[in-house]
Structure 1
Amino acid sequence: MSNTEARPAELRCGGRSDGDRPRAVEVLTSRSVPLGGPRAMTVRRTLPQRARTLIGAWCFADHYGPDDVAETGGMDVAPHPHTGLQTVSWLFTGEIEHRDSLGSHALVRPGELNLMTGGWGISHTEVSTPGTTVLHGVQLWVALPEEHRHAERDFQHYVPTPVPLDGGTARVFLGTLAGDASPVRTFTPLLGAELSVAAGATVTLDVDVHFEHGLLVDTGHVRLNGTALEPTELGYAAPGHEALTLVNEGPEPARLVLLGGPPFEEEIIMWWNFIGRTHEDIVRAREAWQNGSDRFGRVEGYPGDRLPAPALPHSTLTPRKNPARPAGGPRLS
């Protein structure tokens, strides 16, 4: 998915932990971002934001739907570029057609992972299919580390088998959880899973003590290690936790997305759909896209024009740190 903001902010992403003791859960709220046009589909963006720019190498999280396609027209994202990252598409409802400049042509369906590696440069489109009436899911980005940020273009598809939990189920699409492991290749250790927690149930998950974790609530009213989370909120838990306890206090099953990874130690600049290390990295990528360079290849089969890049700001793009985590875990936005 493209970041379609007309004036995207430059961001530094760095997740260094402050000590080894677990901190209280921070609650991050989202902001609404239209994907373009007067009848635009609107997404709720939880990462990046001023309160936090990364969770592990996860650097971007859009949560959308349930979206009535008859009202909004659904998703129609024209060819657009990416550098220095991987995109992770995960649906709850609906279907999206994916095409990219690697030549991949695939459908994104509920419970099926599609992961695309941009590396040095790739372009792609995302369009909801004609039979889709309700669109609902998440679009996530992963920052590539320095040694792999110019990796070859790649596309992977994986259908995880549901894993029974005491009080729910898990679909592990990246990393390892609850005795299940995804075979999908990533360039840093990561965790990504859809969780279902039954009404009134408590689920305790053993997790990597070196990871920081984010729990995005799609449906339900849950507590993460005692902290209440409402739908569309994301709870952040710093490294140091050996287990995460989820309590569903609602009358219906809760659907959640759990993300995790070790703090990403590198400082990076994220602007529009590009991740680089310097202002010049971003300028070169933008110029290459605007000039139709072979760097991003060509997407075949989309009946329309490419997305133009936004204008760069007049100032030099500079990185920005995650702010220090305040004690007591206040609500942040």
Structure 2
Amino acid sequence: MSVADGTDTDPAAPRAEVITAREVPLGGPRAMNVRRTLPQRARTLIGAWCFIDHYGPDDVGDTGGMVVAPHPHTGLQTVSWLFSGEIEHRDSLGSHAMVRPGELNLMTSGHGISHSEVSTAATTVLHGVQLWVALPDRHRHTARDFQHHVPERVRIDGADVSVFLGTLAGSTSPVRTYSPLLGAELLLASGASVTLDVDPSFEHGLLVDEGAVTFAGTPLKRAELGYLEPGAATVTLTNDTEGTARLILLGGPPFGEEIVMWWNFIGRSHEDIAEAREEWEKASDRFGEVVGYPGDRLPAPVLPNATLTPRRNPTPRGPRS
């Protein structure tokens, strides 16, 4: 990684596509809202990353915080990462863990899992991201799993980097994934500009949590997601504000498989989704039971009156020669 002046002098250099968020009610007594940048109609995946919810900072006294009753998942991994607050996680593996700032909680659904997420009584301000990773077809029926990891913070030039998945800035996460991935939080000092070495076979997404930055020559505001196609061996980030910018950098090679996403399920066909929904409604052993949650589980919504079909990404142009 080296310091750069943030000036894009190569007119052929790739520029980022800007993806804006839409507000979605998550739940809770007063319907806590999240900002969703992925999936969008124009883009379903960045690598295997298929879902990005960004929330807060929310005063839980006003919003009611996060109260998500037991619900199912198939075919994915959930990645929980907080900036402030605390969330209690329970799942049908028997895991009972707290999600805290700077600590990764990664849950693998495989063939099926259920879990609940509730912000704790000690939380006054809730702020973070909830991310999903699509499992490749050969692994989507794998066994349930839960991993916890506290990455070290690496200081390089004007950036603090916490790598929770993959490798960046000389730091590698030991957490297992089923396809090559990058996931990292970056704190970029006021006025700093840094260039990161990245895998040119990866496409990348940069979510701005705080501040405003320039990413691959493209300005990004708070809550925007910048998308960069494969081909770049470096990415340059410049903090254009007086305060520290907080960013989430995600990446992976183009997924190469079509997926069907509906509610909390990822499959490959309408039939996959319909079967998972039916088994959840019948309380089959596929999803297990969340022990310790003081309430009922979430019912599945009604399937749409149409066949669910795969969502498709634009075809990446691929690495440049």
TM-score (norm 1): 0.90
User: In 2, distance between residues paired with 1:228 and 1:103?
Assistant: 44
What's the CA shift string for 1:173-198, capped at 9, x where partnerless?
00000000000000000000000100
Deviation at 1:325, TM superposition (A): 7.2
Say if 2:36 is the partner of 1:68.
Answer: no
Q: Secondary structure at the match of 1:283?
A: helix
1:331 counterpart residue number: none
User: In 2, distance between residues paired with 1:22 and 1:51?
Assistant: 22
Q: 1:22–1:240: 8 Å Cα contact kept in structure 2?
A: no
Say if 2:317 is the partner of 1:322.
Answer: no
Q: 2:153–2:161: 8 Å Cα contact kept in structure 1?
A: yes
- The percent identity for this pair of structures is 73
2:157 counterpart residue number: 166
Question: Number of residues paired by the alignment?
Answer: 306
2:7 counterpart residue number: none
CA shift in 2, pair 1:299/1:170, >3 Å: same
2:48 counterpart residue number: 57
Q: 1:269–1:276: 8 Å Cα contact kept in structure 2?
A: yes
User: In 2, distance between residues paired with 1:62 and 1:169?
Assistant: 23
Q: 2:14–2:216: 8 Å Cα contact kept in structure 1?
A: no
User: 2:210 corresponds to which letter in structure 1?
Assistant: T
User: In 2, distance between residues paired with 1:80 and 1:105?
Assistant: 15
1:260 counterpart residue number: 251
Q: Secondary structure at the match of 1:282?
A: helix
2:129 counterpart residue number: 138
User: 1:300 corresponds to which letter in structure 2?
Assistant: V
User: In 2, distance between residues paired with 1:319 and 1:99?
Assistant: 30
Deviation at 1:319, TM superposition (A): 1.3
2:177 counterpart residue number: 186
What's the CA shift string for 1:233-283, capped at 9, x where partnerless?
000000000000000010000000000000000111011000001111000
**What are the ranges of 5 or more consecutive residues in structure 2 without an aligned counterpart?**
1-11
Say if 2:39 is the partner of 1:48.
Answer: yes
1:118 counterpart residue number: 109
Q: Which has the higher contact order (CA 8 A, sep 6+)?
A: 1
Say if 2:186 is the partner of 1:210.
Answer: no
Deviation at 1:24, TM superposition (A): 2.2
Compute the RMSD of aligned alpha carbons: 1.2
User: In 2, distance between residues paired with 1:301 and 1:109?
Assistant: 20
Deviation at 1:51, TM superposition (A): 2.0
Q: 2:15–2:217: 8 Å Cα contact kept in structure 1?
A: no
User: In 1, distance between residues paired with 2:275 and 2:316?
Assistant: 34
Q: Secondary structure at the match of 2:27?
A: coil
User: In 1, distance between residues paired with 2:161 and 2:126?
Assistant: 21
Q: 2:27–2:66: 8 Å Cα contact kept in structure 1?
A: no
